[in-house]
Amino acid sequence: MAVITPVWTHFDLAKSALLSGKHVFIEKPFTATSQQAEELIEIAEKNGLTIMVDHTFLFTPAVRKIREMIDQQELGQLYYYDSTRMNLGLFQRDVNVLWDLAPHDLAIVDYLIGAEPEAIVATGTPHLNGLTDVAYLTMYFPDKVIAHINVNWLSPVKIRTTVIGGDKKMLVWNDLESDEKIKVYDRGVHVDTQQDEYNLRVNYRSGDMWSPKLEVRKALKTELTYFVECIQNSIRPINDGYAGLRVVRMLEAAEESLKNKGETVYA
Ligand SMILES: NC(=O)c1ccc[n+]([C@@H]2O[C@H](COP(=O)([O-])OP(=O)(O)OC[C@H]3O[C@@H](n4cnc5c(N)ncnc54)[C@H](O)[C@@H]3O)[C@@H](O)[C@H]2O)c1
């Protein structure tokens, strides 16, 4: 069964589907609370059923390529993930901009970094109907990896741009480009550690830029084919209930920080 309804309905619909013995494909964010997510995972596990959360971007050729580059150490040690996801609307009635747009980046970060954040800070403001419509989310991961996500329903233009920096290479992923979505830059800095802090010498490297060839395929089609394969072969999906739960936990931490004017929330 596919649950493609507003977030507040996800839990009840998915629960009744699972209790009727159905595998569930469910929209992001998985549930409105982590407690609901845990309950659905437990029901699915008890009944040998598959939950797949629609973290669509994990099935895009762009994200697959970036993951491959990270796995092959092409970017080197990761420094940061910085994403801007903004457009005019669409205003949701049941969730704020964090719960609407940030799940995409949180799922991507979870997939690319492969670690849970140690701390989260979120700030934002509601301008119109009491729901935050502009928000900035910062996540601190182990090994000094930092992620920043800018989500906004009040932008005059649509922007879907992510910059990822590593100590070997850096890349810019513009999802609105039809060709050359990803540009990889052989740019970076090298610090001469022999120097003392005052005389710190930073050497800049500015090499080639190139755009890797990406496969042309529809993410949703790939994802749904994978859903069927997972069910038929009892494979645990990369975007299973636990992946959905991790994203919901990050959203809850961000929401708590947002309510407390950007107070750091430790995981
Ligand atoms: N993965 C993505 O890229 C992506 C993009 C947009 C929206 N979404 C997600 O999709 C879901 C739906 O978003 P939307 O903007 O289409 O919402 P929506 O408000 O347009 O609702 C979608 C449909 O759900 C139906 N519906 C509402 N309550 C229901 C209920 N209790 N039982 C059965 N049907 C019900 C509505 O009639 C409507 O047809 C949300 O979870 C949203 O976060 C995901």
Cβ partners under 8 Å of residue 254, min gap 6: 98, 102, 120, 122, 135, 137, 265
Q: Which of 94, 244, 62 is nearest to 171 (CA)?
A: 62
**Which residue out of 9, 15, 27 has the highest number of ligand 1 atoms within 8 Å of its CB and is therefore the one to mutate?**
27
Same-domain pairing of 15 and 27: yes
Q: Which residue has the least CA distance to atom 3 on ligand 1?
A: 56
Query: What is the spatial distance between Cα 63 and Cα 59, in angstroms, rounded to a whole number?
Result: 7
pLDDT confidence of residue 190: 80
Blockwise average pLDDT, block size 10, the chain, 267 residues: 96 98 98 98 98 98 98 97 96 93 98 96 94 98 98 98 97 96 92 69 87 94 97 96 98 97 91
Q: What is residue 191's predicted lDDT score, i.e. its pLDDT?
A: 78
In whole angstroms, what is the distance from residue 174 CA to residue 91 CA? 23
Whether residue 97 is found in the same domain as residue 182: yes
d(C-alpha 172, C-alpha 54), whole Å: 24
- How far apart are the CA of 93 and the centre of ligand 1, in A? 11
**Can you name the residues that pair with 52 across neighbouring β-strands?**
25
Name the pTM for this structure.
0.95
Contact 98/124 with Cβ under 8 angstroms?
Answer: yes
- Say if residue 235 is in the same domain as residue 168: no
> Who contacts 261 (Cβ-Cβ below 8 Å, separation ≥6)?
123
Distance 74 CA to ligand 1 centre (A): 38
| Structural domain harbouring 210 | 56-216
Whole-angstrom CA distances from 123 to 8, 40, 93, 133 are: 23, 30, 20, 11
108: CATH: 3.30.360.10
How is 9-61 classified by DSSP, letter by letter?
HHHHHHHHHHHTT--EEEPSSS-SSHHHHHHHHHHHHHTT--EEE--GGGGSH
Whether 184 and 124 map to the same domain: the answer is yes
Q: Are residues 110 and 212 in the same domain?
A: yes
Question: Taking CB atoms and a 6 Å cutoff, what residues make up the pocket around ligand 1?
Answer: 4-7, 9, 27-28, 54, 56
Same domain, 51 and 61: no
Q: What pLDDT sits at residue 198? A: 66
The 3-state DSSP class for residue 97 equals: helix
Tell me, in angstroms, the distance from the centre of ligand 1 to residue 175's CA: 23
Same structural domain, 71 and 197: yes
Please check whether residues 76 and 192 belong to one and the same domain: yes
Containing 62, the helix (H) or strand (E) segment is helix 61-71
Nearest in space to 59 (alpha carbons), one of 178, 249, 237 = 237
For residue 227, what is the domain's CATH number? 3.40.50.720
Q: Are 210 and 160 part of one and the same domain?
A: yes
Q: Contact, 31 vs 10, CB < 8 A?
A: yes
pLDDT score, position 56: 97
Element (H, E) at 220: helix 219-232
SS3 213: coil
How many angstroms is it from 2 CA to the middle of ligand 1?
11
Q: Are residues 92 and 75 in the same domain?
A: yes
User: Do 99 and 191 fall within a single domain?
Assistant: yes
Give the count of domains, the chain. Answer: 2
Cα radius of gyration (the chain) = 20
177 and 103 share a domain?
yes
Q: How close is the Cα of 96 to the center of ligand 1, in Å?
A: 15
